[in-house]
């Protein structure tokens, strides 16, 4: 286990140094929100590679772009320096190809990862003068007593459904909540897929939202609940994350990992 954690930490450092880590868009409002200031992680300088990981508590995001993707898998793990949640996506075989392939690689799908409080800006009924609080989407994470800090993860354009008519093995079968050995995690205590978004059930067709709100593109939303607010970073790249595989050999995949520092 220690050797695996060492390899994972060293791999992430190499990826970051080579530009294969988080691909926050440059020259955008998203890039302006990026936090490049290292913060204490609780990791000893003797731990290989850990002190080189740049993390913070500000939002991390990339500009939207590319064809819609299918969420295939979601996995929560722990390593020497961090807890990690990884989302693997494959190309939507029913979607037309984008006009031009992104060069250099941009994160597909794009993402926003930030700390939010319930109801996470997810409303089935928008706030009004009569009801200033509105009606938020019901989630398990919002009422989870040990979730003292919650990371909101939105990925778009993307869909997360239990059936794929062309390739059933590429659909995300669930669960709504990830299972993981809680005793081995440093800070994560719940990871939840928000299946019932305000715009309705996920479909491969571009979605709309509740009346009076701005239409939203296809999106997948997850919540990561922790015992306290911790610095985090992201790793988004084509292909599977280290130690994982693409769901199908003939369909390209990509991944987004959220790393929450120890």
Per-residue pLDDT at 22 exceeds 50:
no
Q: What is the pTM of this model?
A: 0.78
Return the structure tokens found at 25. 């868009």
pLDDT tens digits, residue range 170-199?
Answer: 888 888 999 999 899 999 999 999 998 888
* Mean per-residue pLDDT, 111-115: 97
Task: Write down the pLDDT at residue 94.
Answer: 65
Task: Write down the pLDDT at residue 208.
Answer: 54
Task: Write down the pLDDT at residue 255.
Answer: 96
**What are the φ/ψ torsions at residue 151 (nearest 5 degrees)?**
-90, 130
3-state helix, strand, coil in the chain (%, to 5): 10, 30, 60
HSE (CB half, 13 Å, CA atoms) of 224? 29
Q: Which residues contact 262 (CB under 8 A, 6 or more apart)?
A: 41, 42, 43, 50, 80, 81, 82, 83, 186, 187
SS3 of 6, please? helix
* Mean per-residue pLDDT, 145-157: 96
Segment among 29-43, 196-210, 235-249 with least mean pLDDT: 29-43
Return the structure tokens found at 221. 């939303």
Let me know: does 78 contact 185? Beta carbons within 8 Å: yes
pLDDT tens digits, residue range 231-244?
Answer: 999 999 999 999 99
153 strand-pairing partners: 113, 222
Binned at pLDDT 50, 70 and 90, residue 133 comes out as: confident
Select the more confidently predicted residue: 173 or 85.
85
């Amino acid at each position: 286990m220690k050797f695996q954690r060492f390899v994972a930490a060293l791999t992430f450092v190499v990826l970051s140094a080579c530009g294969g880590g988080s691909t926050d868009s440059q020259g955008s409002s998203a890039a302006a929100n990026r936090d490049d200031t290292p913060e204490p992680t609780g990791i000893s300088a003797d731990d290989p590679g850990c002190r080189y990981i740049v993390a913070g508590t500000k939002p991390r995001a990339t500009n939207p772009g590319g064809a819609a993707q299918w969420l295939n898998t979601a996995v929560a793990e722990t390593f020497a320096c961090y807890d990690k949640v990884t989302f693997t996506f494959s190309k939507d075989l029913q979607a037309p190809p984008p006009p031009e392939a992104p060069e250099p690689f941009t994160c597909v799908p794009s993402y926003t990862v930030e700390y939010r409080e319930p109801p996470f800006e997810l409303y089935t009924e928008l706030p009004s003068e009569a009801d200033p609080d509105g009606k938020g989407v019901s989630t398990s994470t919002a009422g989870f007593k040990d979730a003292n800090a919650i990371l909101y993860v939105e990925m778009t354009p993307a869909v997360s459904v239990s059936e794929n008519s062309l390739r059933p093995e590429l659909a995300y079968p669930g669960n709504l909540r990830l299972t993981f050995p809680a005793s081995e995690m440093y800070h994560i205590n719940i990871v939840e897929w928000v299946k019932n978004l305000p715009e309705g059930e996920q479909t491969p067709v571009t979605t709309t939202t509740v009346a009076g709100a701005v239409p939203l593109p296809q999106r997948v939303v997850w919540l990561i609940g922790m015992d306290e607010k911790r610095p985090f970073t992201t790793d988004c790249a084509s292909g599977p994350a280290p130690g994982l595989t693409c769901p199908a050999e003939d369909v390209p995949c990509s991944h987004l990992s959220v790393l929450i520092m120890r």
